[in-house]
Copies of this chain bind each other. A is one copy, B any other.
């Protein structure tokens, strides 16, 4: 999966592993994050497979950086992946729900503390999304290709905000229900 995220970003412009990590952290990390270790190893793998090439940049002063450039084979691999319609709904893995499912024997106060903390964490996430939306240059007229990209990215951001809002509301309702026990 991370393979296609890397190809997806490299399809816009050549980048280094570090830049890719930064870019991911500020965008797709909201629905798919990656550790730098995985990014560097996957980039090497992509190079071995001929989907990208790399060249060293001798930064004056700063450490050497390896700039990765997508190759036609890489663009094709990306296109093939995007053209293969996803036929399943993504599986959900929510640890909190597992914990809650088995929480009947727990001290209710402890459960409440946990849910209130989650509430704060998800509120922070929502705030972060809000900040991105506000920082977003709502370009009245720019390159239509960039605008098109922006449009699709906004859809994912929209989902993120809806999801967090739903999550927070559910947490608040759940807290109330448990308090009422």
- Which residues of chain B come closer than 8 Å to A169, judged between CB atoms? 162
Query: With A104-B151, A152-B104 in contact, do A32 and B98 touch (Cβ < 8 Å)?
Result: yes
Closest partner residue, chain B, to A158 (CB atom): B170
Is the contact region of chain A dominated by helix, strand, or loop, or is it mixed? helix
A118's partner among B83, B86, B101, B174 (CB-CB below 8 A) is B86
Query: With A8-B101, A89-B121, A106-B83 in contact, do A95 and B153 touch (Cβ < 8 Å)?
Result: no
- Which residues of chain B come closer than 8 Å to A99, judged between CB atoms? 82, 86
Query: With A85-B110, A162-B170 in contact, do A78 and B102 touch (Cβ < 8 Å)?
Result: yes
A121 to B90, CA, bound (A): 10
Known: A82-B102, A85-B117, A86-B95. 10 other contacts (CB 8 A): A82-B106, A83-B110, A85-B110, A85-B113, A89-B118, A89-B121, A90-B94, A90-B95, A97-B160, A158-B170
